[in-house]
Amino acid sequence: MSAVAEAPITHSRVLKIAVPIVLANVTVPILGAVDTGVVGQMGEAAPIGAVGIGAVILSTVYWIFGFLRMGTTGLASQARGAGDIAETGALLMRGLLVAGLAGAIFILFQSALFWGAFALAPASAEVESLARDYLSIRIWGAPATIALYAVTGWLIAMERTRGVFILQLWMNGLNILLDLWFVLGLGWGVEGVALATLIAEWCALALGLWLCRDAFGGNQWRDRARVFDPARLRRMLQVNGDIMVRSVLLTGSFTSFLFIGADLGDVQLAANQVLLQFLHITAFALDGFAFSAEALVGGAVGAKNRLRMRQAAYMASLWAVGSSVVLTVGFYVLGGVIIDVMTTSTEVREAARVFLIWAALAPLLSVASYMLDGVFIGATWTRDMRIAMIQSVGLYVVALVVLVPSFGNHGLWAALMVLNVTRAVTLALRYSRLEAQLAA
């Protein structure tokens, strides 16, 4: 067993993992604001729209491989807990190979990818032309972007989230500086934004690999028999496949929330968009503690220590619940001020205040689902996660059918809360079986 696995589960250990993740998350919206701001200085609407739609297309495509982050964290933390250092290196190598292959496919078939994207989300001729210029540059960063999922997952598994923060700060900070230079200094416009991101992505991967240098110590990462071991590959594919299905269903549920909200009128749609920012803030905060649960539970499962797993789940959840209470109170008290900052429309402000209670309650009603996701990812009980998500989405659909026609936007928000609560309940019902199997 490794020294890390033997370390006691303490509040400081939980925070040491969680706080850097929260800080890393804060850098993400700042980058988006700068991207929009620099092209906005060009004085035209088309470049802003082109960067926006291009970024959405790529983030949606790359997100498919987000399972590499969660799957790598769960499997590598278990290998660490079991003291199998060679396997932690092999797991990172497998993730990097998947990323390289996927990135190469995206580059080779970029024309078909862009055609399909614009067929689903058509834009004006000017916006589409600029977006294609943006995409044709950024697509060359596909291998690096996808590989960073595996790198980030490995760092979390090793409880090196300070490295994740440094990585995000380096990538987004460099991106911002290059944005300012290429667009405002050299006048390269949309292509400058794309080139800045491309350079930042590859530089971030270089730094990420250096931060993961322990994984390349010795020769385990070059051990072909281990890296391509059929049983381990099947396990990796099973875990990642389950996570991908779960994530697709979850994203589809949130997308349906937006689409159904659009049918309720422009004002309510805009109000929902404003209130969704509260949910994003909640995710930024609770992700850190969920990631703590992933790493600590995974280590305990690898060490086959049921008590340690329970301690990890409890301590990480304790901090998450405390944070959710602070968020709920903060949103309820300051929500009106935050809404006024986000929009100047009187109609949207008034509508958002009507539904603010749902955004304020969301942290309390969602915290259990975040933490149980972290526990089950760390334990790599991904089959149960997939089944629980299918059940939860089924009840969400029922809630939409029953509540929206009678209660409108209140019914829509209530259905979303039903989804989050049901996600927690369906996983909680499986938790005792998870502990029992670990004790067996």
Q: What is the length of the chain? A: 440
Please tell me the predicted confidence (pLDDT) of residue 272.
Answer: 85
Given a cut of 80, whether residue 187 has pLDDT beyond it is: yes
Given a cut of 80, whether residue 439 has pLDDT beyond it is: no
More confident residue, 422 or 30: 422
Please tell me the predicted confidence (pLDDT) of residue 122.
Answer: 74
d(CA 45, CA 105): 32
Q: At 259, list the tokens.
A: 């689409």
Please tell me the predicted confidence (pLDDT) of residue 232.
Answer: 93
More confident residue, 313 or 44: 313
Given a cut of 80, whether residue 49 has pLDDT beyond it is: no
The predicted model gives 273-292 an average pLDDT of 91
Residues 97-107 pLDDT 10s: 999 999 999 99
Report DSSP state, residue 405. H
Report DSSP state, residue 403. H
The pLDDT-based confidence of 385 (bands split at 50, 70, 90) is very high
- CA distance readout (Å), 167 to 63, 94, 348, 430: 19, 21, 37, 35
Q: What is the DSSP string of 353-373?
A: HHTHHHHHHHHHHHHHHHHHH
The predicted model gives 373-402 an average pLDDT of 96
Given a cut of 60, whether residue 247 has pLDDT beyond it is: yes
The predicted model gives 265-280 an average pLDDT of 85
Smallest Cα–Cα separation from 294: which of 31, 18, 93, 106?
18
Given a cut of 90, whether residue 325 has pLDDT beyond it is: yes
Highest mean predicted confidence (pLDDT) among 46-50, 57-61, 145-149, 263-267: 145-149
Contact (CB, 8 A) for 378 and 303: no
Please tell me the predicted confidence (pLDDT) of residue 2.
Answer: 42
Please tell me the predicted confidence (pLDDT) of residue 159.
Answer: 94
The predicted model gives 44-61 an average pLDDT of 79
d(CA 296, CA 282): 22
Given a cut of 90, whether residue 416 has pLDDT beyond it is: yes
Please tell me the predicted confidence (pLDDT) of residue 60.
Answer: 80
Given a cut of 70, whether residue 127 has pLDDT beyond it is: yes
The pLDDT-based confidence of 4 (bands split at 50, 70, 90) is very low
The predicted model gives 310-329 an average pLDDT of 96
Q: What is the DSSP string of 280-336?
A: HHHHHHHHHHHHHHHHHHHHHHHTT-HHHHHHHHHHHHHHHHHHHHHHHHHHHHHHH
The predicted model gives 18-25 an average pLDDT of 92
Q: At 367, list the tokens.
A: 């915290």
More confident residue, 435 or 203: 203
- CA distance readout (Å), 217 to 122, 206, 298: 49, 16, 22
Given a cut of 80, whether residue 278 has pLDDT beyond it is: yes
- CA distance readout (Å), 52 to 183, 194, 334: 16, 11, 29
Q: At 182, list the tokens.
A: 């290429």
pTM, 2 dp: 0.91
Given a cut of 60, whether residue 353 has pLDDT beyond it is: yes
Q: Is 380 left (phi over 0), alpha (psi -120 to 50) or beta?
A: left
Contact (CB, 8 A) for 152 and 171: no
Residues 286-307 pLDDT 10s: 999 999 999 999 999 999 999 9
Query: How much is the mean pLDDT over the chain?
Result: 90
Given a cut of 80, whether residue 184 has pLDDT beyond it is: yes
Give the burial class of 297: count Cβ atoms within 10 A of its Cβ; 0-12 exposed, 13-18 middle, 19 or more buried. Answer: buried
- CA distance readout (Å), 170 to 22, 164, 243, 254, 377: 16, 10, 28, 30, 27
The predicted model gives 401-415 an average pLDDT of 95
The predicted model gives 353-365 an average pLDDT of 95
- CA distance readout (Å), 149 to 37, 156, 201, 208, 244: 27, 11, 12, 10, 13
Given a cut of 80, whether residue 36 has pLDDT beyond it is: no
Please tell me the predicted confidence (pLDDT) of residue 368.
Answer: 97
